Chains A and B, each alone.
Chain A
Amino acid sequence: MTPLDELLLFSGLTLVLLLLLGRFSYAGKIATVFYAGQLLFLAKMADRIADGAIMTFSLQAELFGQQMSWRYDALSWFFAVITLGAGLLSSWYASGEWGERFRRRGGNLWLLHVALAANVFSMLILLGSGDLLALFIGWELVSWASFLLMTVAGGRAIQAAMRYITYAMSGAMAILAGIVLLWSHAGGLQYGQIIDVMPQLSQAQVWLLVALFGAGFAVKMGLLPFHLWQAAAYAETPGPGAAFFGAISARMGLYAIILVLVQLIGLARLSELTIPFTFLDMRDFWAWIAVLTIILPTYTALRQTDARYLLAWHGIGQGGYMLLGVVLGDALGSAGGLLHVFNYATNQAVLFFAVFAVMFRTGTADLNKLGGLITRMPISFFAMLVGIIGLAGLPPMNGFVSKWFVYRSLMVEGEPLLFLGAIIGTLGTILSVYKLIHNTFLGQLRVEHVEVREAPWSMVVPMIILMLLIFATGVAPGLVLDWVALVQSAVGLPVVENTLGGIELASGSLDMLWVVGVLFAGFGIGALLFYSGGRTRQVHQLDNYAGGHFLTAETRYHYSDNFYAGLMHLIRPWYRGSFVWLESTLGSLLGIAASLMQRLYGALHPSIYLLVTVVVTLTWVLL
């Protein structure tokens, strides 16, 4: 048995076990242990992956005369670590009181566990695909497994899931068309064959290939203009599912983009493809798609009033940084993009955990119906704080490092407009996440939340683990950058030469060990100064300046609705809903076409069709 055999078999076993035992109250704990087991099997490969070895899977299948195989290289391994980490912590989160409550409220906990395990299993298979056929099959498995998890909540979630599967199937058709195109030229679907045939393909053919594969993968990644399905589908999924989706699911699209566009077609080839009537080549085009994906969804997130939707929209936006880094293609940028996959996963998971902890205790994620929970749920507050600092990309959390790499790469490559776009996205994120933490945890505590307690330990411990991870990889980004360097060399990108604290460059280095050390020393001085002052007296929240009025428990003294009123005054007209319009127009056109066909079919007598068919067949035979 190869290590990959062990991993995939064990992952399959987890799925089977949960299918059988998922009803029982200890199912969540079993799942958590088994995910930890899978992570161990993955860790066993680490040494050999680090040596550049490729793990093979013993089972090989043959379909339509095509050999299918599975293998893990550093790229697969990197994404698999994040997948399993997200799966482990999500199922841990669900294993205690959260799951119990979910079941008592009529939720199908069995389905949740099974769907989560199916997601992990299918993603591990997808990540191991050794040829395009295996990739396509893995892609479909992941799509349907995601669909299954999205439907768990029922109601609005079903609608969102249907929208997703419509997008996913259209995307899959595009990918299939791309695969057929490649097969007709290469005569096979092995990666080697495709790399060999690439130089013989004309520019137009490569153009078509990039469009087909790109559009297909962009759907999963939620890149503009295929992003509309994602926010609702992720946000409506119950707690752990949403955290898992948010952390890693959409990144399967990035994995496939790296595999096909970077590894098989090559970034250099992308630069040769010009876009008619513009100054851009295909690579610039992708960079701009990435930047638009950063900006527009981030500012959509800014307008959300539901914490889950806010996070889900940010998830789409953050994907843009990863793609931007990868498309830049130099050592710095691609390292930043890949590092951001890991960093963002930790941030998004902890944020979803915190939001669902608040929901668990208060029953709502509506940002206009919360406030002041910091005194009741301090650990959840701290988890969200660490998460938002990471998501917004400020030091000392890990999100800063990955974005720093992307910024620096844009500076070195001389891309001012892309740089400006990336920063505008970051600024929007800062505004939006402050609103999130302010409206949830800061400000006035509502009367109905006075009795609220901290979330139970089964939910708090995964948050604490993530917080530590976010901080540790922020102080010592070299820990993850070592893996990133392996991925770069496996994919054929230039390899980053990192240090434990960041990177040393002639044109400006980064050493987070020093930066964070000095930052905390600064906080220490700030604290010394603060505590050397007079003794403080803590007052009740209603003991507050109100311009001469008395505040009572009934007074709503919390500013939450339309939080950025001044900004919105200016930019509200800029939200045109163009993509929603485009989507509904497409839908309507399809509806019209369908009813036309129906009319045509219903209006004419069937015998006429028979006649036409016979005539056409006869003509064909005779000629």
Chain B
Amino acid sequence: MSIQILLMELVLMPLVAFVVGLFMVLMLRRIGAKLQRRVGPPMMQPLYDIVKLYGKKTQISHGWMHDIGIIMAVGGYVAAETLLPVPGMDGIADKGGLVTLVYVMMIPSLGLALGVGQCANPNGSIGIARALTAMLAYDVPFVIVVFGVAWYFGTTNLVDIIAIQQAGGVSGWGAIAMPLLAIAGLFALQGMLGKQPFEIYIAPAEIATGPMVEMSGKYLGGLFVMQCFQLYTAGVLYVSLFLGGGENWLFFLIKVFAVVAIPMTVAFLFPRYKTEQMIRLMWKWPVMIGLLGLAFVMH
């Protein structure tokens, strides 16, 4: 692959991710509206929101780490998108692989955590403490899933993982070969996206939206952009591991949106768990299902 094409992919991949992510946020709001018998926002509303937030006159900064934290939160995901192959574009997926992607995805969280830390608001700090605890909870089943998939396909290269699945048709999909791991993965996905019942770190009535408590204007706008990327990344990763990636853009987008719709729908049906309830649940059911699935895969 020539360097020009690679550079073009590196620019295009985050851009596509952002646009798709905007539509996912729209879908999130529309699903919520449907369930609550409301009309829901118009199509361009997520974009308007971001433009509005970035353009606000009052932009409160609590220090340079607050600023850099937001930059890291957005920038980390921009980088992560180039490690995630989509139809026609592999980016640098072959230079990082699954393990690297999982760790690059922690950079935005780290940036956010540092930024919130400097805001000097205990609500924010409690939110981060809970978010990190949540990470400890959902990452345990998640790494079991990652291990199982890498073992089954014999590689951590996402390009190869997708190619192997597509070579086998629908019956070659990870979800068919490893149904238990796919279920455990869905559990982890719900926690990873911080959706109810696992939104302990936002908890508006309790800790005043936690990490977002001191975020205004473009700071909140940055988090909005981050959420677009986050939804997209989680959806695409799941599709790449279990649903054969994308043969073409149409099927790819259908799969990704379908996957992301699941946690969104579940979210509006549940109240919130307490922190220790979340850990207990995550360390019990998805871990058990995941380990069982792993045992099937490895024997």
Q: Which residues of A contact B (CB under 8 A)?
A: 372, 374-375, 381, 385, 389, 393-395, 400, 404, 407-408, 411, 414, 416, 419-420, 423-424, 427-428, 430-431, 434-435, 437-438, 441-445, 501, 506-511, 514-515, 518-519, 521-527, 529-530, 532-539, 541, 543-545, 547, 557-559, 563-567, 569-570
Rounded to whole Å, the gap between the CB of A317 and the closest CB of chain B is 15
A529 to B228 alpha-carbon distance, docked (Å) = 15
B214 adjacent to A420 (CB under 8 Å): no
Question: Which one, A372, A393, A423, A430, contacts B120 given CB within 8 A?
Answer: A372
Residues in B whose Cβ lies below 8 Å from that of A424: 140
28 contacts between A and B (CB under 8 A): A394-B103, A394-B110, A395-B100, A404-B100, A414-B151, A416-B147, A416-B148, A442-B117, A444-B120, A509-B95, A511-B92, A515-B95, A518-B83, A519-B75, A522-B74, A522-B77, A522-B80, A529-B222, A530-B71, A533-B55, A539-B61, A544-B120, A544-B121, A545-B121, A545-B208, A557-B121, A558-B122, A566-B279
Rounded to whole Å, the gap between the CB of A379 and the closest CB of chain B is 13
A545's closest neighbor in chain B, by CB? Answer: B213
A529 adjacent to B104 (CB under 8 Å): no
Question: Which one, B100, B117, B150, contacts A443 given CB within 8 A?
Answer: B117
Rounded to whole Å, the gap between the CB of A402 and the closest CB of chain B is 13
A389 to B130 alpha-carbon distance, docked (Å) = 20
A431 to B113 alpha-carbon distance, docked (Å) = 11
A529 adjacent to B157 (CB under 8 Å): no
Rounded to whole Å, the gap between the CB of B199 and the closest CB of chain A is 13
A519 to B95 alpha-carbon distance, docked (Å) = 13
B120 adjacent to A443 (CB under 8 Å): yes
Residues in B whose Cβ lies below 8 Å from that of A564: 129, 132-133
A407 adjacent to B99 (CB under 8 Å): yes
B130's closest neighbor in chain A, by CB? Answer: A566
A507 adjacent to B122 (CB under 8 Å): no
B110's closest neighbor in chain A, by CB? Answer: A394
Interface string of B137-174 (1 = CB under 8 A from A): 00110011001101100111100100000000000000
B196 within 8 A of A: no
B200 within 8 A of A: yes
A444 to B62 alpha-carbon distance, docked (Å) = 11
In chain B, residues 211-243, which have Cβ atoms closer than 8 Å to a Cβ of chain A? 213-214, 217-218, 221-222, 225
Residues in B whose Cβ lies below 8 Å from that of A394: 103, 106-107, 110
Known contacts A427-B139, A514-B96, A544-B121; 11 further A-B pairs (Cβ under 8 A):
A411-B156, A420-B143, A442-B114, A442-B118, A509-B157, A515-B92, A521-B10, A522-B78, A524-B75, A558-B122, A558-B125
Residues in B whose Cβ lies below 8 Å from that of A525: 14, 74-75, 78
A522 adjacent to B125 (CB under 8 Å): no
Q: How many residues of B contact A (CB 8 A)?
A: 89
Most buried by A among B107, B122, B139, B298: B122
A535 to B56 alpha-carbon distance, docked (Å) = 9
A382's closest neighbor in chain B, by CB? Answer: B65
Q: Which 4 A-B pairs have the closest CB atoms?
A: A566-B275, A442-B117, A526-B75, A508-B156
A547 adjacent to B208 (CB under 8 Å): yes
B142's closest neighbor in chain A, by CB? Answer: A423
B154 adjacent to A507 (CB under 8 Å): yes
Rounded to whole Å, the gap between the CB of B223 and the closest CB of chain A is 12
A325 to B140 alpha-carbon distance, docked (Å) = 21
Given A420-B140, A508-B98, A570-B276, also A437-B135 (CB < 8 A)? no
Given A509-B157, A529-B74, A559-B129, also A515-B114 (CB < 8 A)? no
B104 adjacent to A519 (CB under 8 Å): yes
A567 adjacent to B120 (CB under 8 Å): no
Interface string of B71-89 (1 = CB under 8 A from A): 1111111111011000000
A524 to B14 alpha-carbon distance, docked (Å) = 13
B222 adjacent to A537 (CB under 8 Å): no
Residues in B whose Cβ lies below 8 Å from that of A374: 63, 65, 118
A18 to B156 alpha-carbon distance, docked (Å) = 53
B54 within 8 A of A: yes
Residues in B whose Cβ lies below 8 Å from that of A533: 53-56, 59, 217-218, 221
B63 adjacent to A534 (CB under 8 Å): no
Most buried by A among B54, B65, B139: B65
Query: Number of residue pairs across A and B with beta carbons under 8 Å?
Result: 255
B129 adjacent to A565 (CB under 8 Å): yes
Rounded to whole Å, the gap between the CB of B7 and the closest CB of chain A is 10
A264 to B72 alpha-carbon distance, docked (Å) = 48
A438 adjacent to B76 (CB under 8 Å): no
Question: Which one, A434, A438, A510, A534, contacts B218 given CB within 8 A?
Answer: A534
Question: Which one, B56, B130, B276, contacts A534 given CB within 8 A?
Answer: B56
A523 adjacent to B75 (CB under 8 Å): yes
Residues in A whose Cβ lies below 8 Å from that of B55: 533-534
Most buried by A among B63, B77, B208, B217: B63
A507 to B143 alpha-carbon distance, docked (Å) = 18
A385 adjacent to B114 (CB under 8 Å): yes
Residues in B whose Cβ lies below 8 Å from that of A508: 97-99, 150, 155-157, 160
A535 to B216 alpha-carbon distance, docked (Å) = 12
B289 within 8 A of A: no
Rounded to whole Å, the gap between the CB of B126 and the closest CB of chain A is 6
B214 adjacent to A515 (CB under 8 Å): no
B128 within 8 A of A: yes
Residues in A whose Cβ lies below 8 Å from that of B148: 416
A514 adjacent to B92 (CB under 8 Å): yes
Residues in B whose Cβ lies below 8 Å from that of A563: 125, 129
A111 to B106 alpha-carbon distance, docked (Å) = 44
A122 to B129 alpha-carbon distance, docked (Å) = 44
A389 to B103 alpha-carbon distance, docked (Å) = 11
Rounded to whole Å, the gap between the CB of B246 and the closest CB of chain A is 20
A430 adjacent to B74 (CB under 8 Å): no
A522 adjacent to B136 (CB under 8 Å): no
A543 to B107 alpha-carbon distance, docked (Å) = 28
A514 adjacent to B157 (CB under 8 Å): no
Rounded to whole Å, the gap between the CB of A532 and the closest CB of chain B is 7
Residues in B whose Cβ lies below 8 Å from that of A538: 61-63
A507 adjacent to B156 (CB under 8 Å): yes
B90 within 8 A of A: no
A521 adjacent to B97 (CB under 8 Å): no
Rounded to whole Å, the gap between the CB of B277 and the closest CB of chain A is 9
Question: Which one, A437, A523, A566, contacts B133 given CB within 8 A?
Answer: A566
B275's closest neighbor in chain A, by CB? Answer: A566
B150's closest neighbor in chain A, by CB? Answer: A411
A567 adjacent to B279 (CB under 8 Å): yes
Residues in A whose Cβ lies below 8 Å from that of B133: 431, 564, 566-567
Question: Which one, B79, B113, B144, contacts A519 given CB within 8 A?
Answer: B79
